[in-house]
Copies of this chain bind each other. A is one copy, B any other.
Amino acid sequence: MKRRPLPIAFQGARGAFSEEAARRLAGRRAPVLPCERFEDVFRSLKEGRAAGAVVPIENTLAGSVHENYDHLQHFELPIVAETSVRIVHHLMAPKGVPFSKIRQVYSHPVALNQCLDFFARNPQLERTPFYDTAGSVKMIVEEGLMDSAAIASAIAAETYGARILRRSIESDRRNFTRFFLLRTPQYARRHPVRAPRQAQWKTSLVFSTRNVPGALFRALSAFALRDLNLTKIESRPLRGKPWEYLFYLDFLGREDSPNAQNALRHLRETADYLRVLGCYPRGA
């Protein structure tokens, strides 16, 4: 008898943008495990209840998801793939509720903030924060609220049988969220990531420097002197050392290339702490 494969964990209710990312990264038919909090997503992979974890890491409008940077550092689960999902927000309501009856609009605060032009044109609508975009659709449908709508993805409308009343109400179309697929270290060792020969690769790492003048400059020289292009750098507070920082950095290149190996060796000379978080093909 074949064992049922373990699911891919993501944060949010069924129909969340993270589920769309999970299906792209782990296959359309992969079973999924919706989790309430980001920490639960990491924990379910760490504790063997999931085969992979999909987490958002940054959004082109809202910026980095800092909590997940902290979890990447803490849980030590390697990044094996990335993808970017275009965020399209639709206004939806339980079937039979017309737009003219809507007074309350539920969604995640980030989604509500990304539709401010729509709310400015419709001052009769009250923005009501909810813990999750897809979860807000589930709630208004299950409770049968007749004066309420939710903002979420088309998949959420389909998942819960809500009707889309207004399409693509986000203020800025250049709204993309970047997601990581994480595996256990054991899985990553047994299943090396493969990609077409011409694919570009990214390596993600975290490091800290001594708090001396020019420390970050010297750290970045390890990459600049070898023409390794940085695509992202992010600072996070270092716990227990007020006003000192960890740096998260992505560069274009394979971790195992001689150039990258030299850069990492060079960085180790000046960094107090250094860990590679993953090496994966650059996403679309």
Contacts and interface: CB of A to CB of B under 8 A. Distances in A.
Contact of A230 (B216, B223, B239): B216
Interface residues of A, number: 38
* Chain A interface SS verdict (over half): mixed
Contacts of A232: 235, 243, 245
Contacts of A104: none
B233 A235 contact: yes
A242 B60 contact: yes
Contacts of A229: 212-214
A59 interface: yes
| Integer count of this chain's copies in the complex | 2
A217 B249 CA distance: 13
Nearest to A220: B217
A174 B59 CA distance: 30
A228 B217 CA distance: 11
A172 interface: yes
A206 to B, nearest CB: 14
A132 to B, nearest CB: 13
A61 B227 contact: no
Contact of A66 (B63, B213, B221, B223): B63
A58 B242 CA distance: 11
Interface in A213-253: 213-214, 216-218, 220-221, 223-224, 227-237, 239-243, 245
A214 B227 contact: yes
Name which of A224, A240, A241 has the most chain B CB atoms within 10 A of its CB.
A224
Contacts of A201: none
A11 to B, nearest CB: 15
A176 interface: yes
Nearest to A247: B233
Contact of A213 (B176, B218, B228, B233): B228
Nearest to A69: B63
B231 A224 contact: no
B235 A234 contact: yes
Contacts of A60: 237, 242-243
Given A228-B213, A234-B235, A240 B66 contact: no
18 contacts: A59-B237, A60-B237, A60-B243, A63-B66, A63-B236, A63-B237, A174-B240, A174-B241, A174-B242, A176-B242, A213-B227, A214-B229, A216-B220, A217-B220, A218-B224, A233-B245, A234-B235, A235-B235
> Lowest 8 CB-CB distances: which A-B pairs, in order?
A217-B224, A214-B224, A213-B229, A60-B242, A217-B220, A63-B237, A63-B66, A60-B237
